[in-house]
Structure 1
């Protein structure tokens, strides 16, 4: 059985987006073993994929060139490997791959399309051609290694432990069964420029509770965002806080799996919910889905945005607003989200 070494260390959304590609490869090639090396807490994304093992690592243990050599030695113990599939293309992953190449292991790495993305994000004379989705870029790396497979669902599996965590969480907040509509809202992102203003986030929570009297709103955030989440909750009874720090990825997956709609910025929460095939509303401003980072299989219906000549100004949101007024986000109103929810409801009813 050929053992394929798959490397992707971060970020969480990008790691989660590996799952459709890995499921496709595992479904077509029953004679291969997939060894995925990533951060240990990301392992729940790969539950129930046949012939797949996860080596969860703590990157803090492998600092510097000597640390990368030790990482290579630890990974090599799981070999021998037939191919190295580098889905990250970072300095770290390329060095690990280099060590394997020195012993004759074939290597293929992701093509990120940096030149095309630069043409999209420059200030003037932008070229907004649709670029391949990240999932498609992952599949292309497998193709270069001789493994071609069509995409097929599910994109992401939820295991029994995730469902149990979710059940315990719902019980702790006094919900015994699902009634009404359940909305998830993730108001934060990895970079501030990808976020709505806090006042708009607060207004959205209030509007959701007002427009959908039977709803429950679940606010997703980390431990360092606890105070902001409490302010957004504002003692509203149907609003609940989901803190990833205490529930972990497994718990969050179990909760997302019960939602009717997930709302958020261009962030991992929206991408993960899309992989669970939940309707999503991703609020895009600084970034743009044409860069290949739209919600998977919902690049059109799952995106809320306004057309401005300055968009996108960044691929990741780690830049400054050229206009100085953050208009790409500020021109989107909470009521626009409500209208999109009603459109999703109508489509689901017709379906």
Structure 2
């Protein structure tokens, strides 16, 4: 058997949720193999995700700048080789990483199997069953490098100590904190805003609701929601990513779509209730370590083509509001049950 690598380059460049999904896997790796060094090649913006992982450092990929195009990737490969890397775990497997692969000739380079054929069969309805999770697909890459990983007994960081800026923003925190991230990259993945407002209205009577989002349009919508109800705070555009992670770590629960915020909360050990529109957890993108019953699914009797795509970017027009088939009572009851029974009062 070949000698095990002592320094592994892990590649996962985007998107936010996919990068966040690497964190529980890398945490397990660092605990089970503490003598192996990890360098993560990703966007500099995502660096805070990895801040508390032992023996893990981030090498920022400037894919729209210094490392753009084939010449830029060649330059990047030379910079990476100077780090003394023994092997590469490509958790992305896209054109950019395949080009990088050619520059690492002679180095062990293992790429993720995305299971495209199985996902195609799932979407077509030919084989509607749970596929391997993305977390396990990441773990499989490390196993191919000689490092079998056990993801079944995870640990998580302690709640972060909030800085004064966040404390002032939150105000009175005598009520339990519930995060709500109502947006997703595609409309078919979102809970209709009018029903989400009903959910916020009900929850804000008993809990402090923290709204998460990004971009001007989302921020404007959340500001309007915030001014409508008591006990609602909108943090969109007000915090750095590090501060946002600190705040999320202090939530009692996060309500999210099938989107990045679900994975940010899950990687921090926070309970996550997810709402699924035209996508489905069977594709393998459920947030880490969350019970199956925390995923609220659209009615497949009404919408039998779900999942219409892996990422929710393709769906019939009549499916755009599939998640309306999940009643606001279902959402609220699930959250209240988890907070009272699972988390403890």
Normalising by structure 1, what TM-score?
0.89
Q: 1:320 to 1:348 in 2, by over 3 A?
A: closer
CA separation in 1, counterparts of 2:321 and 2:37? 48
1:190 is aligned to 2:189: no
Q: Is the 8 A contact 1:9 1:15 kept in 2?
A: yes
Q: 1:275 to 1:249 in 2, by over 3 A?
A: same
1:133 is aligned to 2:169: no
> Which of 77, 80, 92 is the equivalent residue of 2:82?
77
Q: 1:226 to 1:346 in 2, by over 3 A?
A: closer
CA separation in 1, counterparts of 2:320 and 2:261? 22
1:7 is aligned to 2:11: yes
SS across alignment from 2:64: helix
CA separation in 1, counterparts of 2:266 and 2:188? 22
Alignment of 1:152-301 (within 5 A): 152-155=153-156, 157=157, 163-165=161-163, 167-175=164-172, 178-210=173-205, 212=206, 215-224=207-216, 225-243=218-236, 245-301=237-293
Q: Is the 8 A contact 1:289 1:299 kept in 2?
A: no
How far the C-alpha of 1:300 sits from its partner, in A, is 0.7
Q: Which deviates the most, 325-334 or 220-229?
A: 325-334
How far the C-alpha of 1:149 sits from its partner, in A, is 2.4
RMSD: 2.0
CA separation in 1, counterparts of 2:336 and 2:158? 27
Give the structure 2 partner of residue 340 of structure 1.
334
Question: Where in structure 1 are there 5+ consecutive unaligned residues?
Answer: none
How far the C-alpha of 1:209 sits from its partner, in A, is 2.1
Give the structure 2 partner of residue 329 of structure 1.
323
CA separation in 1, counterparts of 2:100 and 2:319? 43
Normalising by structure 2, what TM-score?
0.91
Divergent runs of 4+, >6 A? none
1:44 is aligned to 2:48: yes
Q: Is the 8 A contact 2:10 2:38 kept in 1?
A: yes
CA separation in 2, counterparts of 1:105 and 1:85? 11
1:60 is aligned to 2:55: no
Give the structure 1 partner of residue 118 of structure 2.
116
Superposed CA offset, 1:106-147 (max 9, x none): 11000000011011112xx43112111111110100001111
How far the C-alpha of 1:339 sits from its partner, in A, is 0.9
Question: Where in structure 2 are there 5+ consecutive unaligned residues?
Answer: none
1:318 is aligned to 2:313: yes
Q: 1:100 to 1:336 in 2, by over 3 A?
A: same
CA separation in 2, counterparts of 1:349 and 1:164? 21
